[in-house]
Amino acid sequence: MIGGGRGSFIGAVHRMAAALDGQIELVAGAFSSDPACSRLTGQDLFLDPERVYPDYVSLLEKEALLPADKKVDIISIVTPNHLHAAPALMALDKGFDVVLEKPMAFSLQEARQLDQKRKETGKEILLCHTYTGYPMVKEARARIARGELGAVRKIYGEYPQGWLHTFLEGSQHKQADWRTDPARSGAAGAMGDIGTHIFNLIEYVSGLQVTQLCADVRTVVSGRRLDDDGAALLRFNNGASGTLMATQVAAGEENKISIRVYGEKGGLEWHQQDPNTLLLKWPDRPAEVVRTGTSYVSDAASHNTRVPAGHPEGYLEAFANLYRNFALALRAKASGQTPSAYIADYPGTTEGVRGMAFIDCMIDSSRAAQKWTDLTV
């Protein structure tokens, strides 16, 4: 692991998710730009001190020299956005597969470089768009793909948070500091942090791609240097339309992610606050409630379900589904096999490049007098 030292939220989440299915073991790390913090984090995690490194360059160089049965297989990068591309590019060059936090890079140019490097090296990248890992999200995708809703006409995606409704920067709040800093976060704040999540979820569930958007991105809290609120009208490659909203100033909200999709035959909706439930709506019969862990769900949903119906599966399990599928895909590849569609179902550089293009398009559209802006990768 690169990053994820003491005080890191997302590093701990990655470690729990990776360990959940017994497929991946953490054995080495450069956990902080502060060598002392990296060393102490290694102690916290009971790692061999010889494999706790002061920086990512030392980690990648020294691990690459170890025998094949000793060196790490996967490098998990959980740093702020500006420190995604350089270690990822070096890891790929050194022969490691990579897990990468989202958004994939600091800029669209870096994202394209990572996509090209992955193709050149033949290694794999998992991009952690967590919400695609939920069983009922996969069920929604499967039902749309097999035509149960007919042609998709309208899509609504929302991601309201409230944790940045006041000015937290400069108050020893590590997360607020870097996520609102243009030098570390990139061109966008909320749009890069959570806007990319709901954008990815919309495209994943619908199976469509956004071709144009008309955006309004703004900064609500005085003194903040990046956006904390935004929305967009969307146009899709099949002629459908929709809306996207992402905000971090919705006081009182936590992570109220939701998606609604309407086709010519019916609609569906999913809410992260009730993740085990998918609601289907029909014009000519009562609505249906589809539940995780039941016998009637798709193979895709079943593959990503661990416990019997009625037992909640949430954020950590969805995150772990990404890691498990990635590990199983790498095992299949190593043995010369082709992973099944369910195992190979995890976000990668294609989604990463589109996510960075989305950020640029949102910012460009919001600033433009001519509002409709093409989304070009």
Domain ranges of the chain: 9-127, 134-307+347-367
Cis amide leading into 103 (omega within 30): yes
pLDDT by residue (tens digit) across 106-125? 999 999 999 999 999 999 99
- As a whole number, mean pLDDT of residues 208-215 equals 98
Inform me whether the pLDDT recorded for 289 exceeds 90: yes
Contact 322, 329 (CB under 8 A): no
- Give the percent of the chain with pLDDT over 90: 98
Which 8-state DSSP code applies to residue 52? B
pLDDT by residue (tens digit) across 266-281? 999 999 999 999 999 9
pLDDT at position 170, please?
A: 83
pLDDT by residue (tens digit) across 126-159? 999 999 999 999 999 999 999 999 999 999 999 9
- What CATH number does the domain located at 9-127 have? 3.40.50.720
H runs (alpha helix) in the chain: 9-19, 35-44, 56-64, 85-93, 108-121, 135-145, 174-179, 182-185, 190, 196-206, 299-303, 315-334, 349-367
CA dist 157 and 352 (Å) reads: 19
Which 8-state DSSP code applies to residue 314? -
CA neighbor of 152 nearest in space, from 275, 259, 9, 75:
259
Level-2 CATH architecture, domain 134-307+347-367 = 2-Layer Sandwich (3.30)
CA dist 329 and 340 (Å) reads: 8
Inform me whether the pLDDT recorded for 172 exceeds 90: no
CA dist 74 and 17 (Å) reads: 14
pLDDT at position 192, please?
A: 97
Dihedral sign, Cα of residue 316, residue 198, residue 114, residue 209:
positive
